[in-house]
Structure 1
């Protein structure tokens, strides 16, 4: 193998090792524990050497780790939605929602990394990271909303009643996400996401405990409420606990 090829392979291997080490630190100790020094120690190089692979150092590492976590999460969510027929709109929404809840509870530190308070270590990169995962998640739930809107529609507010700034943001969101939805339909989708995100976040961060030790019933009631509001109550299926 030519020297250049070996160098490229070694660089790729080191980069992969750095990202694996950084993710392990996040999983075991939380993003607050992630420093260049900690990562460098785990892969056996100096902190300065990391800049040869990540131009801006820790913010670049954090951004790539976040993207990797989102990749894995989106794959799980997409697989869950894909288990149901194209016209089973409710379960194509509910299945990935259940996976998100389970993932958030079981992998709290990664959830906090993506969805919690921005870490100072990410710097200006955090806004870009957030934008990317928002758009990636739109690709999980969005298609079901798009197809439901096209086939039978759902109750949505009149655009005449939307505050102009909100209306403009909905136009920007649908353009950025590539979802062919009118702004009022996109707003309903985002309202559903806000409800889901709020429920999952409260549970993942332990804000209900110990008053509500078992929060699955509350989560499932939220799923029923959302589906009822979308005109999909008849498609709701209770969790399979076997």
Structure 2
């Protein structure tokens, strides 16, 4: 009597291959967290494989970094999703504050992974300074294709909440002729790998304008800048441990998004 594998279920070989990919990612993240060089040879050694054997799964360092980045972005989005979903869908204000607090919490708890996927690759000049200060190898995403890294899932997560914020609060956005010089041309050009690409796809936002995208980008820039300064310790330690700088930044962003009158209740979420 023959047994037919149900259509759509992975075969044993496919499961084994996926398990190997999962191990590659796990070992790469372990090396990253230990401050070691995340190279194909290092990963192969940790897995008890030869470098040629690993090449059957990952054919370049760029592909290895892409696998690692996708896993990291998936974890970040998963943590933010849990935080967001503690609040009702008709309360996007609470959802976005909870999500950005989760993002910060993840960043401070996973500095090396944040450094990999969110920090820009240093120039050759600054590379030497960073290496000297950190005394550890620097791994960058240089050479990876942005679409392969999971960054769109991350930006789409915030774009969705932003869209629902707009529908509910109708916060002010600048008209085209009120944008800074050159911004209109930038934001009306075909989007590449910016949050504008995801924002423009949202069916919940009707009639996306350059002014809306400008507010979105400015909000993200302030959040990202504050969290990055905290992750790299470029602000007073007390401002990090108290979260005072982060909370002030979120309050400023919230005021621009029409949430000033609700900050008293939202502040408790930011503090969490």
Query: What is the CA-CA distance between 1:175 and the residue it aligns to?
Result: 4.2
Name the structure with the higher helix share: 1
Distance 1:113 1:90 in 2: 29
Offset of residue 12 of structure 1 = 3.0
Change (3 A) 1:167 1:13: closer
Confirm or deny: 8 A CA contact 2:155 2:198 kept in the other structure.
no
Name the residue aligned to 2:39. Answer: 35
Q: Relative to 1, partners in 2 of residues 1:197 and 1:232: Cα closer, same or farther, differing over 3 Å?
A: same
2:135 aligned partner? none
Per mean C-alpha deviation after superposition, the further-off stretch among 141-150 and 210-219 is: 210-219
Separation (CA, whole Å) in 1 of partners of 2:140 and 2:254: 39
Deviation sequence 1:79-107 (CA, Å, 0-9, x none): 21122223323221111111111111111
- Cα shift at 1:167: 2.8
Match of 2:268 in 1: 239
CA contact (8 A) 2:66 2:148 kept: yes
Secondary structure of the 1:52 match is: coil
CA distance in 1, matches of 2:27, 2:82: 27
- Residue 125 (structure 1) aligned with residue 134 (structure 2): no
Q: Aligned equivalents of 1:62 and 1:18: distance in 2?
A: 11
2:102 pairs, out of 99, 103, 112, with 99
Whether 1:140 aligns to 2:157 is yes
**Which stretch of the first structure deviates more once superposed, 112-121 or 213-222?**
112-121
TM-score, normalisation: structure 2: 0.76
Structure 2: unaligned runs, 5 residues or longer: 4-10, 122-137
Would you say the 8 A contact 1:91–1:235 is kept in 2? no
8 Å Cα contact 2:239-2:245 kept in structure 1:
no
Shift of 1:214: 3.3
Q: Deviations over 1:169-203 (max 9, x none)?
A: 48665444523432211210111110000000000
The answer to whether the aligner puts 1:16 opposite 2:22 as a matched pair is yes
Alpha carbons 1:156, 1:188 under 8 Å: kept: yes
Q: Structure 1 residue 129: deviation in Å?
A: 4.7
Q: 1:2-41: per-residue Cα shift (whole Å, max 9, x none)?
A: xxx55444433322222211111112216xx111111011
| CA offset digits 1:209-232 (Å, max 9, x no partner) | 447453511111111111112211
